[in-house]
Amino acid sequence: MALARVFEERGFAEVIPPSIESAEVFAQGAGSGAEALRAVDRNGHLLALRADFTAQVARIAATRLSGVSPLRLYYRGSVVREAAAASGVPRERLQAGCELVGEADAGADAEMVALAAASLLALGIPAGASRIAVGTVGYFSALIAAAGASPRLARALTDAIDRKDLPGLTLLCTREVAPGKARDALLMLAQPPRRQAEASALLSRASDLAPGEAASAALQRLSSALELLQARDLGAELEVDLGEVRGLGYYTGLVFNLYTAGAPRAVGGGGRYDTLLGRFGDPRPAVGFSLDLDALVPLARPA
């Protein structure tokens, strides 16, 4: 498998997590675990079919591989999720991905974005056919905190920003968020993405509106990662989108999604999750990504 070779060349070792495990492992994952296919065993324990590799790899890294730093792990296999009825998305999907544990700097973020881009090429996706939308969860979380938004309002804002629903977002903000920098910044998040070359204006505007340390730090961090990526030939164009706020609940910093011509939705994505390992007793920073092989393999150029 060409993909495994790319991962191994870059120092990643394969990890094979179980296909069934305690449902609790997935609780913070895809849709807060609600999408996992669950069943009760004869002892009354709630189990789930693997709904997300990252949570499993985090558990393994935090327990059996605790103390080994940094860790570079890759996996391949299927995940099972309850998709919306008639959405055309099968329950079981093939994935492959990588996780880098124990490295907290922007260099690690850039390494994983670059590896994701290289993976697409290794799968036979032509150079130039893909785009990577990069954002940061940190900025949005800081805005939510600064605006003092309730969990309900935070969910509504996330949904509106995720759908680029500027009219809906404007309505929510006027009705429920106090005027100020945080509100102006939130409204900016539904703006269209910018290609990397034009992103600096967007980032400096976001920075002007940053309501505090945390928001500024998140942007600073994103800029450093982008700078590192600029120096590389990724074979895919980068777009900066601060409205890239959807995804698994455990992301804390940089997030990215991969789009490839011919696929109607993201074909992969990832990000930084610095608090997930702590849930399993070994607080260490980590960053990773996964690829939707079912979507990507049909798009590969015939060799």
Partner 1 sequence: MITIALPKGRTLQATLERFASAGLSPEEDFASTRKLIVAARGVPARFLLLKDPDVPLYVERGAADLGVCGLDHVLESGADLLVPLDLGFGTCRLCLSAPRDSAVARGWRSGESGAERGRSLRVATKYPRLTARTFARRGVPVDLVPLSGSVELAAVADLADAIVDLVETGRTLKENGLVVIEEILQVSARLVVNRASYRLKLEQLLPVLERVGGPA
Chain centre to alpha carbon of residue 249: 9
By C-beta, is 179 or 264 nearer to partner 1? 264
CB of 292 to partner 1, least distance (A): 12
CA-CA-CA-CA torsion sign (263, 12, 271, 126): negative
Which residues, 6 or more positions from 235, have their beta carbon under 8 angstroms from its beta carbon? 117, 118, 120, 121, 127, 128, 130
Q: Is 195 in the site for partner 1 (CB under 8 A)?
A: yes
Strand partners, 195: 239
CB of 197 to partner 1, least distance (A): 12
CA 140-144-148 angle, to 5 degrees, is 165
Q: Specify whether the CB–CB gap between 76 and 99 falls below 8 A.
A: no
- Supply φ then ψ for residue 40, to 5 degrees: -100, 130
- Contact stretch for partner 1 (CB under 8 A) within 91-99, 186-194, 222-230, 268-276: 186-194
Instruction: Quote the tokens at residue 251.
Output: 């992301």
Q: Which of 10, 164, 181, 279 touches partner 1 (CB under 8 A)?
A: 164
Q: Is 59 in the site for partner 1 (CB under 8 A)?
A: no
Q: Is 140 in the site for partner 1 (CB under 8 A)?
A: no
What amino acid occupies position 129? Answer: A
CB of 294 to partner 1, least distance (A): 15
Q: Which of 113, 147, 209, 263 touches partner 1 (CB under 8 A)?
A: 263
Q: Is 57 in the site for partner 1 (CB under 8 A)?
A: no
Q: Which of 17, 168, 249, 278 touches partner 1 (CB under 8 A)?
A: 168
CB of 134 to partner 1, least distance (A): 11
By C-beta, is 6 or 263 nearer to partner 1? 263
- Please list, residue by residue across 269-302, b when 16 or more beta carbons sit within 10 angstroms of its beta carbon and e when fewer do: bbbbbbbbbebbebebbbbbbbbbbebbeebeee
CA–CA dist 65, 13 (Å, integer): 12
Q: Is 166 in the site for partner 1 (CB under 8 A)?
A: yes
Q: Is 201 in the site for partner 1 (CB under 8 A)?
A: no
DSSP structure string for 8-39: HHTT-EE----SEEEGGGGTTSGGGGTTB-EE
Q: Is 239 in the site for partner 1 (CB under 8 A)?
A: yes
- Contact stretch for partner 1 (CB under 8 A) within 32-40, 139-147, 254-262, 275-283: 254-262
- Contact stretch for partner 1 (CB under 8 A) within 38-46, 72-80, 188-196, 281-289: 188-196
CA–CA dist 246, 186 (Å, integer): 15
Q: Which helix (H) or strand (E) holds 234?
A: none
Q: Is 133 in the site for partner 1 (CB under 8 A)?
A: yes
Q: Which of 42, 43, 44, 84 touches partner 1 (CB under 8 A)?
A: 84
By C-beta, is 163 or 232 nearer to partner 1? 163
Q: Would you tell me which residues interact with partner 1 (CB under 8 A)?
A: 84, 87-88, 131, 133, 163-168, 190, 192-193, 195, 239, 241, 257, 259-261, 263-266
